[in-house]
Amino acid sequence: MIPLSLEEIARAVGGTIHGTATPGLTVTGPVVTDSREVTAGALFTAIVGARSDGHDFAAAAYAAGATAVLGSRPVDGPCVVAGDVVTALTRLAEFVRSRIGPVVIGLTGSVGKTTTKDLLAQILEREAPTVATARSFNNEIGLPLTVLRADQETRYLVLEMGAAKAGDISHLMRVGRPQVGMVLNVGPVHVLTLGGIEGIAKEKAELVRHLPAAAQGGLALLNGDDERVAAMARETSATVRFYGTGPDVAVLARDAAIDAAGHASFTLRTPAAEARVRLRLPGEYQVANALAAACAAHAVGVPVDRIAAALTDAVPRSASRFHVKERADGVTVIDDAFNANPVSMRAALRTLAAIAAGRRTIAVLGEMMHLAEGVVPYHAAIGTLAGELGISALMAVGTGEGPDAMVAAARRAGVSVHAVPDSEAAIELLRKSVRPADIVLVKASNTIGLSAVAAALDEPAERTFT
């Protein structure tokens, strides 16, 4: 973050200073919400959550080198007190955004946001100082924290924007104020809270509605392969560019292929040039993420050959997103347990089948959340797909309509099915069942907690499925 005195911070957030008589005391380090991430000169934000109160960790933050605390009540040390810490964090980010001048790229979509953001960051970092959203910190807390990591040297600021309810994107756009905005896709994610698929599309379109007009440099990048996204061209006064695999797009992927290891390659073509890309990230679906990142990089002036080279070298950055681990006994564990929805679940299963090459495939699947009335048909479709793809065994983790529907459909499709109530039971069965050369996919919505299952599979197998 740019250096700021406590007086400047207090004015920016509408707060008051307590606990210090030192004039001009300045925050020179990062702004953090976790006392374990404090470094010298940091500002620790004491957020009160459902399970913990950040004010209880103020002493630890000072001991680790924090200059001050931003809280809703005084603590024993230099602090700025504001009514609501999350609101204050937002105001501070808006203040810092007004003091710096990077090219800001905002992106949203139902699936692929984090991977696209990670790929784009790896392209832009080769060109100039770049700050991008860490992991999936894409909400009303994570986005301000990302903005606050930028300073006067930052050339590119990449902001991932998530939406769980109506109004989320508009709020994040007001904080980040991107000049370039990209919508990846619209799918059945947060159906319950966003009012169905049309409600999801409406919320995602808020990104392009809030972009500056074309005359002020606003640029909307839209996936031409997604009808709902393409229709957003009518919702913005910014310049519109399409990317995709069909005709009439500015940035095109053609001749996509996938090798035996599941790595995709494609030819990236722009109006100016083309180059071949071979991804290190497994899955044919990664072509869409890479193409979106390429479109954004091209929009800010990165030459095609450098985009292709960066994408070819890019590596996974965010945990539990089709992260492949190879055990010494030949077992391959794919940790894709950060999130799940019908689109990403189908893509993960297809990739598992594509890289099997005769090996036994085990899909450890938990519930897909936020599907409202679509719980049963969406989960049943996944069970049916497992059979169509020839998945050797499916382990459904959890109870309820979703897992039950997946189990029933998989059995009808001829898949060997194992139903377990929770992660602990899944771990116990897998430790006894996985054998050398198996490929195990672990996937579910993040709240199900199946990352622990993938982590437990670092241990060797004992016996096989029956």
Q: Domain of 66: which CATH number?
A: 3.40.1390.10
Close Cβ partners of 443 (under 8 Å, ≥ 6 residues apart): 336, 337, 340, 344, 345, 348, 363, 364, 365, 366, 450
Question: CB-hemisphere CA count at 13 Å for 128?
Answer: 15
Q: Is residue 462 part of a domain?
A: no
Confidence of residue 465 (pLDDT cuts 50, 70, 90): very low
Per-residue pLDDT tens over the stretch 186-207: 998 877 788 889 999 999 999 9
Please indicate, yes or no, whether residues 328 and 249 belong to a single structural domain of this protein: no
Picking from 32, 64, 90, the residue at the C-terminal end of a domain is 90
Tell me, what's the pLDDT at 466?
A: 40
β-strand 219-223 against 239-244: which pairing, if any?
parallel
Q: Is residue 308 part of a domain?
A: yes
Per-residue pLDDT tens over the stretch 211-234: 999 999 999 999 999 999 999 999
Q: Is residue 463 part of a domain?
A: no
User: Cβ atoms within 10 A of the Cβ of 287, count?
Assistant: 21
Please indicate, yes or no, whether residues 341 and 369 belong to a single structural domain of this protein: yes
Please indicate, yes or no, whether residues 248 and 305 belong to a single structural domain of this protein: yes
List residues bridging with 29 in a β-sheet. none
Using CA atoms, how far apart are residues 248 and 268, in angstroms rounded to an integer? 15
Using CA atoms, how far apart are residues 140 and 120, in angstroms rounded to an integer? 22
Please indicate, yes or no, whether residues 172 and 66 belong to a single structural domain of this protein: no
Instruction: List, as one string, the DSSP characters of 56-100.
Output: GGHHHHHHTT-SEEEESS--SSSEEE-S-HHHHHHHHHHHHHHH-
Q: Is residue 455 helix, strand or coil? A: helix
Q: Is residue 466 part of a domain?
A: no
Task: Give me the domain span that covers residue 196.
Answer: 100-313
Place of tokens 């953001």: 117
Sign for the CA dihedral angle at 427, 432, 433, 436 comes to: positive
Task: Give the single-character DSSP code of 275.
Answer: E
- Residue 342's nearest CA partner among 318, 316, 375, 373 is 375
Q: Is residue 74 part of a domain?
A: yes
Confidence of residue 319 (pLDDT cuts 50, 70, 90): confident
Using CA atoms, how far apart are residues 224 and 272, in angstroms rounded to an integer? 19
b/e for 111-128, b at 16 or more Cβ within 10 A?
Answer: bbbbbbbbbbbbbbbebe
Tell me, what's the pLDDT at 460?
A: 60
Task: Give the single-character DSSP code of 250.
Answer: S
Tell me, what's the pLDDT at 22?
A: 87
Question: CB-hemisphere CA count at 13 Å for 460?
Answer: 5
Please indicate, yes or no, whether residues 122 and 270 belong to a single structural domain of this protein: yes
Q: Is residue 452 part of a domain?
A: yes
Q: Domain of 346: which CATH number?
A: 3.90.190.20
Query: How high is the mean pLDDT of the chain?
Result: 94
Tell me, what's the pLDDT at 191?
A: 78
In the predicted structure, residue 296 carries a pLDDT above the cut 60: yes
Please indicate, yes or no, whether residues 147 and 12 belong to a single structural domain of this protein: no
Lowest mean pLDDT among 61-70, 151-160, 446-455: 446-455
Confidence of residue 21 (pLDDT cuts 50, 70, 90): confident
- What token pair was written down for 232? 């957003």
Number of folded domains that form the chain: 3
Please indicate, yes or no, whether residues 271 and 329 belong to a single structural domain of this protein: no
- What token pair was written down for 73? 């009540």
- Residue 425's nearest CA partner among 459, 465, 461, 452 is 452
Q: Domain of 219: which CATH number?
A: 3.40.1190.10
Please indicate, yes or no, whether residues 156 and 176 belong to a single structural domain of this protein: yes
Q: Is residue 355 part of a domain?
A: yes
Per-residue pLDDT tens over the stretch 380-398: 999 999 999 999 999 999 9
β-strand 4-5 against 26-27: which pairing, if any?
antiparallel
Picking from 41, 66, 90, the residue at the C-terminal end of a domain is 90
Per-residue pLDDT tens over the stretch 232-261: 999 999 999 999 999 899 999 999 999 988
Question: CB-hemisphere CA count at 13 Å for 87?
Answer: 8
Please indicate, yes or no, whether residues 266 and 367 belong to a single structural domain of this protein: no
**pLDDT, mean of residues 141-154:** 98
Tell me, what's the pLDDT at 464?
A: 43
Note the pTM of the prediction, 2 decimals: 0.92
User: φ and ψ at 32, to 5 degrees?
Assistant: -135, 155
**pLDDT, mean of residues 439-443:** 97
Picking from 38, 57, 90, the residue at the C-terminal end of a domain is 90
Q: Which long-range contacts (CB under 8 A, 24 or more apart) does 246-255 make?
A: 248/224, 249/224, 250/295, 250/298, 251/291, 251/294, 251/295, 251/298, 252/291, 253/287, 253/288, 253/290, 253/291
Please indicate, yes or no, whether residues 252 and 336 belong to a single structural domain of this protein: no
- Percent of the chain clearing pLDDT 70 (strictly above): 98
Please indicate, yes or no, whether residues 160 and 287 belong to a single structural domain of this protein: yes
Q: Determine contact, residues 54/85, Cβ cutoff 8 Å.
A: yes
Q: Is residue 402 part of a domain?
A: yes
Tell me, what's the pLDDT at 194?
A: 87
**pLDDT, mean of residues 154-158:** 98
Please indicate, yes or no, whether residues 278 and 358 belong to a single structural domain of this protein: no
Place of tokens 């911070």: 9
- Residue 457's nearest CA partner among 339, 323, 344 is 323
Tell me, what's the pLDDT at 23?
A: 85
